[in-house]
Amino acid sequence: MTLASIKIQAQNYNTMTKNPSIEKKIDSLLSIMTVEEKVGQMNQYNGFWDVTGPAPADGNSALKYEHLRKGWVGSMLNVRGAKDVRAVQKIAVEDTRLGIPLIIGFDVIHGYKTLSPIPLAESASWDLQAIERSAQVAAAEASAAGINWTFAPMVDVTRDARWGRVMEGAGEDPFLGSRIAEARVKGFQGEDLSAVNTIAACAKHFAAYGFSEAGKEYNTVDIGTSTLHNVVLPPFKAAAKAGIRTFMNSFNELNGVPVTGNSYLQRDILKGDWGFDGFVVSDWASINEMILWGHAKDKKEAAQKAVTAGSDMDMEGYVYIEALAKLVKDGTVRESLLDDAVGRILRVKFELGLFDDPYKYCDEAREKDVIGNAKHHEAVLDMAKKSIVLLKNDNNLLPLKKTGQKIALIGALASDKSSPLGSWRIASDDETAVSVLEGMKAYQDNELVYAQGPKVAMEQTSFLQEVKINTSDNKGFEDAIKAAKTADVVVMVLGEYGFQTGEGRSRTNLELPGLQQELLETIYDVNPNIVLVLNNGRPLAISWADAHIPAIVEAWQLGTQTGHAVAQVLYGDYNPSGKLPMTFPRTVGQVPIYYNYKNTGRPSNKDNNVFWSHYVDVENTPLYPFGHGLSYTTFEYSDLKLNKANYAQKEDVKVSVKVTNTGKVTGKEVVQLYIRDLVGSITRPVKELKGFELIELKAGETKTINFVLNKETLGYYNNQGEYIVEMGDFEVFVGGSSVTTLKSDFTLE
């Protein structure tokens, strides 16, 4: 078959129409700035206390104050609170020659003080409105605390659950990841960036950090052009198109070039093809790290390479401030590169309205009023319920009966008020989550007995330290056994300790940590009527649990309102509708495992011998596939129809399907549409998500759901990075998970 194809013009996403009056002001400022002042705008310092990376022991405070006063600092991160931000802003505005305000950055990852579920959990909701609302709440609280720029969303697609940062992204799929990226950008930035309750967002980490080899943090990334363009870049492009104002590069190299010094990514693609006119911040000292990578021999060369490649701001790296002015003066770096970078930074400051009122985010009365208000708690509770995924529910063990039951609640995580906050809780306070124990206590007509069992971690650790998991202290087993013996139902809350996921927290083992598997098996021996509630920030390999435990609920790390969300789902006051944004493996050895894999030349055991693509010790399928998630009701799909069988290049392919709620209660379902492009000049995945809709159906109700496929969704990027749509045969699948077999087909001719 010939593969006639059409090439789609590269679209230039000049995200905001440039405002002529702002452009004029930028030009006039640039014309009076010294080289040192320009470099100052490109210099970002960490604050004086909170740290989210390896800072000098004394925080370099004296130097930072000195530089602030000279106008050599353009931005600070980790300064927070209306009062403290006002204090540093005052120096920038009142003590420096030009009075250029600082832009204040912070990792507002899933909330500021009132925490929403971790981003991976939110992604399991597939509920774009709720996700947007969650980002809005985060922006409202952060902006009230003086912050005007978040280092979120992290839009790194990843297929490796060993990597600790999977908790911070939207999972493994570029299509879902793109839609979620857009929702988060909208939520943070709103319609009006200059409003007091919106903040600039930052798409990170540009690019391919999610493909760190073997899931090991800060590692090499070596991927081909096809994966880069078809899997890694789409959510970044979607964020750019949605008008995001900043990007952050990353610690990883990509095919031998650290991305901080990568012109192809930052200049050619981001600022070239996509027409991005905001600015790029380095990751924490990632400019310096090019020296250790062996890509620059010293700070001077690192500065020169980074600025040439399009890294506009140096985060707590001291490289630009030390080297850049000299490099301009000796002619190694063109001053026009600085003008470009500074122009971008000033543009965002103008758009935020910082020049009109540098203290607009520093109102202590507003801070008091906004942070932690009741509406925010409602929103994060709503998001938490929507994020829960019912993985398994044999014999309808769930929902729990509300009366006459003795419930044994077991597990140290059940009473843990910190772990549900995850590891990105830097502005929130430890011990502020509603625990599952507290949530369950709200249902008073059952008898609830709590037994902690063994500790998960040996001691309380922090964001900066390694977690020491308890592998030896089995105090607590006896009480747990006693509680389980006489219970009607045992609810076990097991999983990862809060600081076991996130940055710097890769794992080689995806099983339940420490003594928890042993605890699960011990309790199963005395009472198998178990509901397993998982608390974790990544897919886990829980094959034993799947084979033995009748009900399993994925409850991630759900933030401040965790306990209420879990209890309401367990008792059926909320019917779960979450779907996995990332594949759960049977064993860590299958990782990377993902639904949109390639068929290979030997996909099946048709000749009944060993010569096919498989492992000899575990089957190819995942434990729980991408898109999987049950409800307390059931859904049936039927009548999958296409409006035609053959389509011309530019015609819309219209797909419809009927979905019926065949159970007894109202429920929500994420209707998912996948395609397979059967023959490609570059081989295509066996399935690719190209549409989804979250619907609600009453018991017995049927709805017809419509999707449209077109050139935006039917094509892909070739190895030259060009988007093409190839003629030929396609399959369309619709259903409630990526393993759906309900299928139709069509031809593009």
Which residues are marked as active site?
A: 283
* DSSP designation for 585: P
Structure tokens that stand for 236 in this block: 């970044």
- Closer residue to ligand NOJ (CB): 77 or 327: 77
Judged by CB under 6 A, the residue of 141, 172, 283, 312 near ligand NOJ is: 283
Q: Binding of ligand NOJ at residue 284 (CB under 6 A)?
A: yes
Question: CB 106 → ligand NOJ: shortest distance, Å?
Answer: 8
Shortest distance (Å) from residue 201 CB to ligand NOJ? 12
Element (H, E) at 734: strand 728-735
Are 259 and 291 in contact, with CB atoms under 8 Å apart? Answer: no
Residue 156 binds ligand NOJ (CB under 6 A) = no
CB of 153 to ligand NOJ, least distance (A): 11
3 state SS of 666: coil
The contact mask relative to ligand NOJ for 354-393 (x = CB under 6 A, - = no) is: ----------------------------------------
Instruction: Name every residue whose Cβ is closer than 8 Å to that of residue 57 and which is 6 or more positions away in sequence.
Output: none
One character per residue 670-699, x = contact with ligand NOJ (rule: CB under 6 A): ------------------------------
If one asks whether residue 204 binds ligand NOJ (CB under 6 A), the answer comes out as yes
Q: Does 172 bind ligand NOJ (CB under 6 A)?
A: no
Token pair belonging to 496: 């990862």
Residues 6+ apart with CB under 8 A from 311: 249, 260, 261, 266, 280, 281, 282, 287
Q: How far is the CB of 104 from ligand NOJ (least distance, A)?
A: 13
What separation in angstroms does the CA of 501 have from each of 163, 462, 536, 565? 8, 12, 8, 21
Q: How far is the CB of 611 from ligand NOJ (least distance, A)?
A: 43
* CB closer to ligand NOJ, 154 vs 410: 154
Angle subtended at Cα 341 by Cα 338 and Cα 346, rounded to the nearest 5 degrees: 115
Contact string 6-45 vs ligand NOJ (x = CB under 6 A): ----------------------------------------
Q: Does residue number 726 form part of the binding site for ligand NOJ (CB under 6 A)? A: no
Indicate whether 289 belongs to the interface with ligand NOJ (CB under 6 A): no
Which of 40, 47, 53, 278 contacts ligand NOJ by CB under 6 A? 53
Q: What is the DSSP letter of 14?
A: -
Residues from 93 through 112 that contact ligand NOJ (CB under 6 A): 107
Which residues in the 429-448 window bind ligand NOJ by CB under 6 A? none
Q: How many residues does the chain have?
A: 749
Identify which of residues 284 and 499 has a Cβ nearer to ligand NOJ in the complex.
284
CA dist., res. 281 & res. 250, Å (int): 9
Structure tokens at 604: 């099946």
Instruction: Give the residue with the Cβ less far from ligand NOJ, 206 or 632.
Output: 206
User: What's the per-residue H, E or C state across 278-325?
Assistant: CEEECCCCCCCHHHHHCCCCCHHHHHHHHHHHCCCEEECCCHHHHHHH
Which amino acid would we find at residue 404?
Answer: G
* Dihedral-angle region of residue 502 (phi above 0 means left; psi in -120 to 50 means alpha; beta otherwise): left
Per-residue tokens: 363: 């109102």
Cβ-based nearer residue to ligand NOJ, 301 or 503: 503
Span between the terminal Cα atoms of the chain, in Å: 11
- Rounded distance between C-alpha atoms, residue 288 and residue 323, angstroms: 11
Q: How far is residue 656's CA from residue 168's CA, in Å, rounded to a whole number?
A: 34
CB burial of residue 397 (10 Å; 0-12, 13-18, 19+): middle
User: Count of CB atoms within 10 A of residue 472's CB?
Assistant: 9
Please tell me whether residue 502 binds ligand NOJ under the rule CB under 6 A: no
Determine if 52 is a binding residue for ligand NOJ (CB under 6 A). Answer: yes
Nearer to ligand NOJ, 284 or 746 (CB): 284
**211 or 733, CB closer to ligand NOJ?**
211
Site size toward ligand NOJ (CB under 6 A) is 9
Distance, CA of 18 to CA of 664 (rounded, Å): 54
- Residue closest to 670 by CA, chosen among 685, 659, 662, 655: 659
- Ramachandran angles phi, psi of 736, nearest 5°: -95, 5
Residue whose CB is less far from ligand NOJ, 127 or 503:
503
Closer residue to ligand NOJ (CB): 219 or 656: 219
CA atoms within 13 A on the CB side of 665: 13
Query: In whole angstroms, how close is the CB of 266 to ligand NOJ at the nearest point?
Result: 17
Name which of 559, 562, 525, 560 is nearest 544 in CA terms.
525
> Looking only at residues 302 through 361 of this chain, which bind ligand NOJ when binding is defined by CB under 6 A?
none
Residue matched to tokens 């104002």: 245
Q: How far is the CB of 151 from ligand NOJ (least distance, A)?
A: 3
Residue 524 is a binding residue for ligand NOJ (CB under 6 A): no
The reply to whether 503 sits near ligand NOJ by the rule CB under 6 A is yes
Residue closer to ligand NOJ, measured from CB, 284 or 730: 284
**Residue 135: CB minimum distance to ligand NOJ, A:** 16
Determine how many CB atoms are found less than 10 A away from the CB of residue 737: 18
Closest distance between ligand NOJ and the C-beta of residue 283, in Å? 5
Residue of closest CB approach to ligand NOJ: 52
Least distance to ligand NOJ, CB of residue 142, Å? 13
Q: Which is nearer to ligand NOJ, 52 or 123 (CB)?
A: 52
What does the longest C-alpha to C-alpha distance in the chain come to? 82
Rounded least distance, CB 139 to ligand NOJ, Å: 16
* Cα 568 to Cα 710: distance, rounded to the nearest angstrom: 41
**Ramachandran area for residue 662 (φ above 0: left; ψ -120 to 50: alpha; else beta):** alpha
Phi, psi of 184 (to 5 degrees): -70, -40
Q: Does 151 bind ligand NOJ (CB under 6 A)?
A: yes
Q: Which is nearer to ligand NOJ, 189 or 590 (CB)?
A: 189
What's the min distance (Å) between Cβ of 340 and ligand NOJ?
23
Residues that bind ligand NOJ (CB under 6 A): 52-53, 77, 107, 151, 204, 283-284, 503
